Amino acid sequence: MKRIVASVFIFAILLVGSAPAWAAPTHKPQKPKAPRPRVLSIVVTPKVLPAAGGTVRILVRDKFATTCNLSVIPKIAHFPRNFRCAAGHFVTAVKIGKNTATYGQTIRFRVFAKGTGGRSLLRTALVSQATDTGPLGATLDVNDSNGNTLAVTMTQIIDPASGIDQYTTPNPGYRFVAVEMTLANQSTSTISDDANSDTTVIGTNSQTYTADFDSVSECTNFNYGQFTILPGSPSQSGCVVFQLPNGVNVQAVQFSFLSGLLDTAQWNV
């Protein structure tokens, strides 16, 4: 009897050890992970709006997404809002109202995409909107590309201004006009830029004039236009010099970082 039991036991071991390959346990293959959605680009048109506002057309291109979320800062009605973008893009138009602030503002359009692979990184496009005009002597705020705030005061217009020496003279039929301003850093970061490229003058002939770079005797041109203001440091004053045709007066002065691509403050004269 013991021999029979032992034989059966040995036979069972041999049977298990010789089991066919199809009887072995199998592992289910893992499904490939869905790719993460991406926002490839945001195109906004136009990039500059007047103080009265207007309509901005937005084209967003994406990849691996089913829906895209668009938000607007400063916040406006009906946004944030989701758009179907499974085809790789979506187009919409956003109406921006009148800017009632005393300074130009930057409107931020922010987009992120969602899909089976999760959520994309946030992308932002900027539109600059001018301000309603303020009087000469008013202090208006403008923001640089990092969101730092510079308080700008247009203190006076020297018309005509005199060249710094006998060799510094305007072109025939023109005269020097100097715009004096005071700049104060209102943020916690250093602000550095070029007042010559930031400041423009609009004449009574509706033409826009850029800086002339000549020096006048009435005031200095910062550091050849350059200024650097640390947070909490005193304000800086200086002039930007223009050449205007005889018979054309200053109608308005504008100040904006990046040559008008960001917030634009305007003073009526």
pTM of the model: 0.56
One-letter amino acid of 191: I
What is the tens place of the pLDDT at every residue in 6-54? Answer: 554 454 544 545 555 555 556 666 777 889 999 999 999 988 887 778 8
Structure-block tokens of residue 20: 């066919």
CB of 267 within 8 A of CB of 252?
yes
Looking at per-residue confidence, does 268 or 258 come out higher?
A: 268
Decide whether 38-129 matches 134-268 in CATH topology. yes
Residue in 158, 159, 154 with CA at minimum distance from that of residue 134: 154
Does the CA dihedral 196-202-203-209 come out positive or negative? positive
Looking at per-residue confidence, does 12 or 80 come out higher?
A: 80
Domain boundaries, the chain: 38-129, 134-268
Which of 22-36, 50-64, 79-93, 225-239 has the least mean pLDDT? 22-36
Rounded average pLDDT over 91-111: 85
Residue 162 has pLDDT above 90, yes or no: yes
CATH number assigned to the domain covering 38-129: 2.60.40.10
Which of 17-26, 51-60, 216-225, 236-245 has the least mean pLDDT? 17-26
Q: Domain 134-268 - what CATH class?
A: mainly beta
Residue 250 has pLDDT above 70, yes or no: yes
The SS3 assignment for 169 reads coil
Residue 94 has pLDDT above 70, yes or no: yes
One-letter amino acid of 90: F
The pLDDT value recorded for residue 253 is 94
Residue in 190, 198, 191, 179 with CA at minimum distance from that of residue 238: 179
Residue 2 has pLDDT above 80, yes or no: no
Which of 140-154, 172-186, 198-212 has the least mean pLDDT? 140-154
Name the DSSP letter for residue 5: H
Residue in 159, 155, 150 with CA at minimum distance from that of residue 194: 150
Looking at per-residue confidence, does 257 or 44 come out higher?
A: 44
The SS3 assignment for 9 reads helix
One-letter amino acid of 12: A
Looking at per-residue confidence, does 30 or 167 come out higher?
A: 167
Structure-block tokens of residue 16: 């298990």
